[in-house]
Chain A
């Protein structure tokens, strides 16, 4: 059953990636100008721009370029960056590692916070604890990331000097030796993604606690912890799992505001930069990796959701 499910998801996933790449490439062609236009400065001539176009291979038809790129990508070669002349894999590895590390750390913090907060609030709806948790999560959900980030930098880094303000001039090695650098970006990211999840888990729990089968089970004397772990928990979490999957995607593709405010060299800065440079090999390379990760994460989440509440698969 699981194997068939996985095989089907893999097939659908592959198709999704192809559609995604075609769509992204076609869209990137709609942008005004090409890489040669962007690379030319106020000092260079139209003849030089044409030469650049030939050097980069932009004088061949877009469809042919795309097919060639896909052919190479299938063998693991993501091409060469138009803007840097370096292999795309080299250009995108660093940002992917940085964003990946931040995403992993965020998820590690996110899951206990969202589950804990959601359960505590949902088991005693209307209580003081519930109101406090709900208020905080709604507040964090409504404050724009940018304001939250700037406010945190202002208080914690600039006024009280507890934490470093940015990653400016810092090596990756230094960040690992001194994890204080990660605190502020992580706080913003966790606040960003956990707030809506807490509310979803809470809603799921409330829903299940009042469900007739739970009431009946309670009457029959099923112990409370068993009720929580075996029955309420899995059912209440199923809707939140879907949302967690979406959160994973948005984390791996980076959080632009966090990257800009803290000068983190992550994926979204790189992608935005590549779009500005009309650097299609880098754009496609990043989209390919992000797309694959998103599809794998979502499939795993679906699988987990199905394990928790098996009837969902048949539905």
Chain B
């Protein structure tokens, strides 16, 4: 659920052109009377040739995630507060030390009529942990690496035991991560067979996935008979929903959303708290290996102004604690606010003069280059030189792991423990801040071995405190996720990206 970091990797014409389109379209008040039929078309930002509906590979883009969640189900999914929600699993009970979990499975059937069993669960886990099959690696391989397949077993057809190599009281949350949906016997046939609410009909990467209703879905058959999830660029998404060619358009710019807002027959939504924006200071190299320099940065940047200017007001100021509104968020830490005097005092205390560093940026999300430029200007006012270097947007998140002293990025919503484990342990692969702290690692392990949720919350709180005081991440804003849809339908998705009820149309009704 994390790699949603790459929110808008591709937009052919960029935001400038999108704004122009919105401008040209503004002022057209004529909508159409729309009627709901049982055929629904949703249009998402496409990713061309690399789109896939293999649930273990689907990840690089939101369109993959939306498509696969209609064909397949996971054991768990996460809700909008990032708590695990039972889906194909009904209950999960850990043993005393949290190294062996017993899962009861739902009475579900595959699209070909056969029963879903524990063999499918273990088969899928074996697939994920096994050898890479094609060009794309399995996304869940590292998050599920702690599963011990040899000691896991099927107890009876609908009961399965999953063993882990170390205590893991967060296993349900891990089983909800991206790329863990269950495929039949751990194999993909020629024609996709899932347990999801829609059956596969046809798929063209870069174009469309067409599906039909699956009457025997365990969670009730969808009201819709046909569902198409289609790829398109921003301008085409806007025109498509406006002309009635599409019933739902995902990922609109703030300007596009405002434009569509006035059109009759169309409603829009700006789902708050959907993108989490950060600056990442590399703590392993000067100047950010100095705690006081990091603390100073957190106070020298003016978040209010960044949101107002770089994000055109479409966002909320954030305060260096990851995951507002999520499970395990620490809401009692003093928010960092613009305080240049204190920031400069800290720099003086650190004995740092003529501070200058490289800020690696790329247009990977709305307003990023604007934010980088503005931060550089804000810091210049206090005698700090941040040199903005613009990198390649295709490989930005790989480059940001090693290059630059400060980088930036956008994270999708994801559980706080997952944020810690994937980005902040000394062994983390996506350690954008090069954070290595034995105490921090130890606390993480302690939390995984703590049975009660309250007990884990206390440990995670301690970890939040460390990062809030001296970490390398500056979480400066959260942004909304903008969608537009036909008013003829009800029960449209309402969750934040990555959540169970995001981009899911099986409950849509007239």
Query: CB within 8 Å of B: which residues of A?
Result: 31-33, 35, 37-46, 48-49, 51-52, 55-56, 81-85, 91, 94, 146-147, 150-151, 153-154, 157-159, 161, 164-170, 256-257, 260-263, 265, 269-270, 272-274, 276-279, 282
Could you show 8 A-B contacts with beta carbons less than 8 Å apart?
A31-B394, A33-B398, A37-B398, A41-B3, A45-B429, A55-B134, A55-B135, A273-B10
On chain A, the residues within 8 Å of B230 by CB distance are 168-169, 263
Docked CA distance A182–B246 (Å): 18
B12 touches A44 (CB 8 A): no
Docked CA distance A13–B432 (Å): 49
Which stretch from B152-160, B233-241, B451-459 is at the chain A interface?
Answer: B233-241
Is B21's CB within 8 Å of the partner chain A? yes
* A169-B240 in contact given A32-B399, A37-B398 (Cβ < 8 Å): yes
Docked CA distance A70–B135 (Å): 21
Q: What is the size, in residues, of chain B's interface with A at 8 Å between Cβ atoms?
A: 68
B245 touches A44 (CB 8 A): no
B20 touches A166 (CB 8 A): no
On chain A, the residues within 8 Å of B228 by CB distance are 169
Interface string of B177-200 (1 = CB under 8 A from A): 111000000000000000000000
Query: CB within 8 Å of A: which residues of B?
Result: 2-6, 9-10, 12-13, 17, 20-21, 24-25, 28, 30, 32, 41, 43, 47-50, 59-60, 132, 134-143, 177-179, 204-208, 228, 230-233, 235-237, 239-240, 242-243, 245-246, 391-392, 394-395, 397-399, 422, 429-430
B30 touches A41 (CB 8 A): no
**Least Cβ distance of B188 to chain A in Å?**
12
On chain A, the residues within 8 Å of B135 by CB distance are 35, 39, 52, 55-56, 82-85
Docked CA distance A100–B135 (Å): 30
Q: Which of A46, A158, A269, A277 contacts B243 (CB 8 A)?
A: A158
Total inter-chain residue pairs, C-beta < 8 Å:
201
Docked CA distance A272–B231 (Å): 15
B24 touches A151 (CB 8 A): yes
Which label, helix, strand, loop or mixed, suits the secondary structure of the B interface? loop
A39 touches B395 (CB 8 A): no
* A158-B25 in contact given A39-B136, A44-B142 (Cβ < 8 Å): yes
**Least Cβ distance of B34 to chain A in Å?**
13
A91 touches B49 (CB 8 A): yes
B137 touches A44 (CB 8 A): yes
* A39-B392 in contact given A154-B24, A158-B28 (Cβ < 8 Å): no
B392 touches A273 (CB 8 A): no
Docked CA distance A55–B135 (Å): 6
Docked CA distance A146–B30 (Å): 23
Q: Which of A43, A82, A256, A265 contacts B207 (CB 8 A)?
A: A265
Docked CA distance A3–B233 (Å): 47
B3 touches A42 (CB 8 A): yes
Docked CA distance A94–B206 (Å): 11
